[in-house]
Amino acid sequence: MDEFLRVLAYRKFSLSETEIEYLITQEIVPWFEVVEVSSGRAFVKQDPSDDKFIWCAETARADFIISGDEHLLSCVDSPIPVVTVAQFLKHL
């Protein structure tokens, strides 16, 4: 959640606090599944703090990680495919 709040506050999205709160409570949280995740193998050498997203996706048995993060997108040995929004939509 901290990551979502941080990213949604980026200037490029031009979202107000009210819009961010709406997105979190109405558009994101209802689709979440809470999973307990243990640290695992390191995948993202350029930014180890991004490993948590791969660990979460593994634990939740996700089909994809959808991200705009350059470190995640360049991670070639992720067990879960990391794709951009455009790539994911093309896949659908």
DSSP labels, the chain: -HHHHHHHTSGGG---HHHHHHIIIIIIGGG-------------SS-GGGHHHHHHHHHHT-S-EE---HHHHT-TT-SS-EE-HHHHHHH-
pLDDT of residue 31: 87
pTM comes to 0.75
Residue ranges of domains in the chain: 1-32, 40-92
- Is the Cβ–Cβ distance between 54 and 62 less than 8 Å? no
pLDDT of residue 36: 83
Q: Using one digit for the tens of pLDDT, what is the confidence trace for 50-70?
A: 999 999 999 989 999 999 999
Please give the mean pLDDT across all residues of the chain.
92
